[in-house]
């Protein structure tokens, strides 16, 4: 008697959504498989230019974060003693009223008494702007300890953080500098890209107190002491200026390096580019001794 065929690959989804992974800063493309609106499985998207279908264990485990019982769905307010872990859920209207009351007291007395830290959000520029409007310099965010250096490099090279607006030019790069990169933090896209660089002979230089992870495969390792990054960068800038290795014409023609920046602490325009009434950015004209568009 013939046994009935066993379906070893039953279909467990009825819909597939494409998006990007937020389990790290790589923003790999992913496919999310859903059944009746519930996430059942996460896989890499082969059509995505960053990861080309590769997904790491952390990315695949994003479903656990999405459905974690510890994930907050509403604001919480403490109802017990500090440290007791006793909270109750409140609506956003009550949360905003409570925050407004607390913050008003601080702002009306001494705004600098407020210090706050935000999590891994996508609006760190807004965080700094809000702090300036409130009147406190005492704020920080996740990126200040993790990815802002990488975002800044992206802004100066191709206009935005590489995980949102592109990636390093693996095809043409000749000199690749890893500055304070955490051990294997950037996951699969960076690993694959560095493999391409090594294969065609590009030079990889790593600055890190320890020589493990990416530093172990670097062609040159500079083991600076922890906490001396700023001194190293200052010395590097000094040497570049002294040796006249700065491409001034490039900075003038293709970057905003000569644009004037407003210094007006606590004001809405603090840190913004100076502009004329028509909105054009201003630069300093050495001939007239005045700012000009």
Claim: this prediction has a pTM higher than 0.85: no
**By the 8 A CB rule, do 96 and 102 touch?**
no
3-state secondary structure of 148: helix
Closest to 188 measured CA to CA, from 75, 39, 36, 45: 45
pLDDT at 26: 78
Domains, the chain: 15-66 (2.20.25.90), 99-160 (no CATH), 168-246 (3.40.228.10), 251-293 (no CATH)
| DSSP-H helix ranges across the chain | 57-60, 62-66, 92-109, 124-134, 148-158, 162-165, 187-199, 214-217, 229-242, 248-254
How confident is the model at residue 184, as a pLDDT? Answer: 60
Spatial neighbors of 136 by CB under 8 A, at least 6 apart, are 111, 112, 113, 114, 115, 116
Q: pLDDT of the chain along its 293 residues, tens only?
A: 677 777 778 888 999 999 999 888 778 899 999 999 999 999 999 999 888 899 988 899 999 999 999 899 999 999 999 999 999 999 999 999 999 999 999 999 999 999 988 876 656 667 878 888 899 989 887 765 666 666 777 776 666 666 655 667 888 999 998 887 766 665 677 888 888 999 999 999 999 998 888 888 899 999 999 989 889 999 999 999 999 998 988 888 888 889 999 998 878 788 889 999 998 999 999 899 999 99
**In 3D, which of 64, 32, 65, 66 has the Cα closest to residue 48?**
32
d(CA 84, CA 95): 20
Helix (H, G, I), strand (E, B) or coil at 58: helix
């Amino acid at each position: 008697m013939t046994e009935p065929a066993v379906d070893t690959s039953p279909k467990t989804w009825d819909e597939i959504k494409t998006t990007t992974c937020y389990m790290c800063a790589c923003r790999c493309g992913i496919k999310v498989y859903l059944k009746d609106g519930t996430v059942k499985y996460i896989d890499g998207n082969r059509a995505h230019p960053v990861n080309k279908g590769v997904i790491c264990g952390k990315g695949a485990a994003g479903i656990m974060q999405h459905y974690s019982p510890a994930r907050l769905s509403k604001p919480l307010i403490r109802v017990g003693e500090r440290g007791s872990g006793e909270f109750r859920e409140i609506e956003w209207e009550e949360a905003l009223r409570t925050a407004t009351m607390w913050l008003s007291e601080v702002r009306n007395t001494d705004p600098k008494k407020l210090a706050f830290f935000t999590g891994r959000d996508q609006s760190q520029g807004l965080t700094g702007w809000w702090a300036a409007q409130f009147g406190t310099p005492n704020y920080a965010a996740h990126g200040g300890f993790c990815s802002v250096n990488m975002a800044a490099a992206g802004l100066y090279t191709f206009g935005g953080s590489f995980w949102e607006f592109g990636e390093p030019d693996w095809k043409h790069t000749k000199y690749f500098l890893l500055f304070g990169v955490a051990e294997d933090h950037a996951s699969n896209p960076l690993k694959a890209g560095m493999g391409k660089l090594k294969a065609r002979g590009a030079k990889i230089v790593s600055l890190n107190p320890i020589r493990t992870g990416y530093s172990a495969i670097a062609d040159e390792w500079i083991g600076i002491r922890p906490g001396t990054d700023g001194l190293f960068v200052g010395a590097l800038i000094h040497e570049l200026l002294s040796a006249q290795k700065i491409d001034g014409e490039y900075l003038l023609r293709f970057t905003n390096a000569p644009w004037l920046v407003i210094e007006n602490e606590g004001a809405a325009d603090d840190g913004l580019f100076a502009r004329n009434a028509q909105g054009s950015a201003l630069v300093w004209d050495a001939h007239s001794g005045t700012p000009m568009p």
